[in-house]
Structure 1
Amino acid sequence: MKLELRHLRVVCAIADAGSLSKASSVLGLAQPALTAQLHRIEGLLGGKLFDRDHKGARPTALGELVLERARVLLPAFSRLQEDALRLVDEDQPTDRFRVGAVNGPMLGGLVHRLTEAHPGAHVGTQVSWSGDELAAAVAQGRLDYVLVGVCGDAPPPSEYGLTWSVVAVDPVCVLISEDHPLTLLDEVPLSALKDMQWAATPGDGCFGDCFSAACTRAGFAPRTLYEVDIMGCIDLAQSGDVIALCQPTFRRTPGLAVLPLAGVPLRWRHLIGWDPESAAAALGPQVLRYAAEAYREKAERNPRYTGWLADHPEFGAVPHHAAV
């Protein structure tokens, strides 16, 4: 991992707030997730950035150096983006859809519906593991819409003033070798997997901490949690030694089964956001509807999940597209 501008924004937010608890509220992150992110940033820079105690967080000498440079770089970068966007804005097509997405089930179906409904439009996509990065791109005018996922009741990226709506709510499931005896069950108790190793795709937010807490409630501490891409999750799960955490709409893969966890210890909310002051906001409800249709289409390809949804109507696509 390399140092990025979003890391500098985190350091500035902590310094401005004076504590990690206050900064986590400003950034819309759970405090454990922000603490873990700070540790990763400190690892990249080679030392502590803040001295922390009951009074708050105070920059170290290294922290002061990073803050000094960050407060020059961040405004300069924002001005560069604004000037570039103003320069090219006149040459951009008026009928365009620029969609950013974190790993989720709706991007392909959404792009298909946009191109079908607007045959002359330019549809572009951008993907990232960071919902915060994509939300910033919407706020800066580089994207029109963003699809993100958040753990449980955690808020979506909140510092950019975007309008957010919930598209669907999923149980977090497990991707497991179809030869495993637990695949005979409709739902898998989390405690039955206590001796397994785990894998999940990377991302920002509190999911890793929530997973650890769910395991603790189930009476065990999780073994290794590998952070890998989607193909890595598939490969590790096919080995039979690793359980991958996944969404129930995960595409069918030979040799693997997707199973819900009993009692739904972890939930995942799919959201879409846009800038309410942008021209794209006028078509926001239409794009939201397309995203919901894309989700339903993907969910219906998994008969096991649609059967589960029949007994759990509080999950799946949100009927009235609740705003956040």
Structure 2
Amino acid sequence: MELELRHFRLVCAVAQAGSITRAAAVLGLAQPAVTTQLRRIEQSVGGPLFERDRRGTTPTALGELVLARAKVLLSTASGLRDDIARLAADSASVPTRLRLGGATGRVLGGLVHQLAAGYPDLQVSTQVSWSIEELAGMAAGGRLDFTIAGMCGDQRPPGRSGITWQELSVEPVWVLLSARHPLSARHEVDLTELSCEHWAGPPGDGCLADCLVAACSRAGFTPLSIKETDVVSCIELVEKGDVVGVAQPLVRSIPGVVPVALTGSPLRWRTLIGWHAGGPAAAFADQVVELARVAYRDIVARQPRYTRFLAEHPEFGEVFPNGRATG
């Protein structure tokens, strides 16, 4: 038997009610029907999900596992229905064109792809700047509809009038090592192990270089140098072993360059999306934010090393409106 959502709802109902009889009443089914259905589910998963006695039912170890997955599936299905309903209701708000801005990272490209797939008639243009302030100013001035911004640590986004910011994700900052570096085979390295290295980082008006210096200082050393470079130059220098780079763990796989986690994640990077609340595309914000999230999840799914990291570090990953990060 192939398990369906209704089977997971039944399992959750039994666990929540504490007995098959009470679960049957909640589900509006006859008690024998619930018992039979539960038995079929248990046969499908290969073992009992509940221990039964005169006091009711208690989940087994297998039952706890199935319940944990069932709650996620049911929550996701419920969220999907809500999103579909909302998007259908908001279909009239789809603009004819959309102007996007971004600084660093892969989310901008992923968002453009998702928009093209979901709204093939929508004209999408992009503009890239290393300056978050410039991008925020363009959104505030009506020259951009949405902008993706990246910033380190607890740095506040530009406080431009009328701009609404929503956080998409929080990542640790990883290091980029040459494949020939003696530490490149490690899953993580301590910052102190890189005390004799030269560094390279992205340009822009963020504080990543300052945060790196501060983290190194806490670790007991001062970086030999920090070069401000574009992405291509940084990769070239890292591959040749001249510098250690800093980047999000979402960086695309590059021959000769290995992303490695830092022990304790002393540096963090946040990705946000911003738009003018009074702008012509503001009514389309919910759809754009959701597609940006879809783009982020797709990028993460194609990064097996980071996926494993997120499973062990749930404080990183996607951030929802309530501020909770999840891998």
Q: Output the TM-score relative to the length of structure 1.
A: 0.69
AA aligned to 1:103 is: T
Aligned length: 231
Aligned to 1:238: 239
Aligned to 1:317: 318
Using the alignment, how far apart are the partners of 1:112 and 1:150 within structure 2? 23
Structure-2 change in CA distance of 1:258 and 1:321 (3 Å): farther
Shift of 1:208: 1.5
Q: CA offsets, 1:217-266, max 9 Å, x none?
A: 01100011111100011000011121011110101000111011111111
Q: CA offsets, 1:96-134, max 9 Å, x none?
A: 110000011211110011112211111000000001101
3-state SS of paired residue (2:184) = helix
Aligned to 2:285: 284
Aligned to 2:80: none
Q: Is the 8 A contact 2:95 2:281 kept in 1?
A: no
3-state SS of paired residue (2:188) = coil
Aligned to 1:258: 259
Out of 177-186 and 206-215, give the one that drifted further: 177-186
1:191 lines up with 2:192 in the alignment: yes
Aligned to 1:148: 149
Using the alignment, how far apart are the partners of 2:224 and 2:106 within structure 1? 28
Q: CA offsets, 1:177-220, max 9 Å, x none?
A: 12222123221101100000000110112222111100000110
Q: CA offsets, 1:64-85, max 9 Å, x none?
A: xxxxxxxxxxxxxxxxxxxxxx
Deviating 4+ runs (over 3 angstroms): 319-323
Out of 179-188 and 247-256, give the one that drifted further: 179-188
Q: Is the 8 A contact 1:101 1:127 kept in 2?
A: yes
AA aligned to 1:249 is: L
Aligned to 2:63: none
Structure-2 change in CA distance of 1:287 and 1:321 (3 Å): farther
Using the alignment, how far apart are the partners of 1:306 and 1:182 within structure 2? 21
Using the alignment, how far apart are the partners of 2:180 and 2:118 within structure 1? 43
Using the alignment, how far apart are the partners of 2:137 and 2:321 within structure 1? 26
Aligned to 2:7: none
Q: Is the 8 A contact 1:135 1:160 kept in 2?
A: no
Alpha-carbon RMSD across the aligned residues, in angstroms, is: 1.5
Q: Output the TM-score relative to the length of structure 2.
A: 0.68
AA aligned to 1:295 is: Y
1:164 lines up with 2:159 in the alignment: no
Q: Is the 8 A contact 1:136 1:160 kept in 2?
A: no
Q: CA offsets, 1:18-62, max 9 Å, x none?
A: xxxxxxxxxxxxxxxxxxxxxxxxxxxxxxxxxxxxxxxxxxxxx
Shift of 1:277: 1.1
Of structures 1 and 2, the one scoring higher in RCO (CA 8 A, sep 6+) is: 1
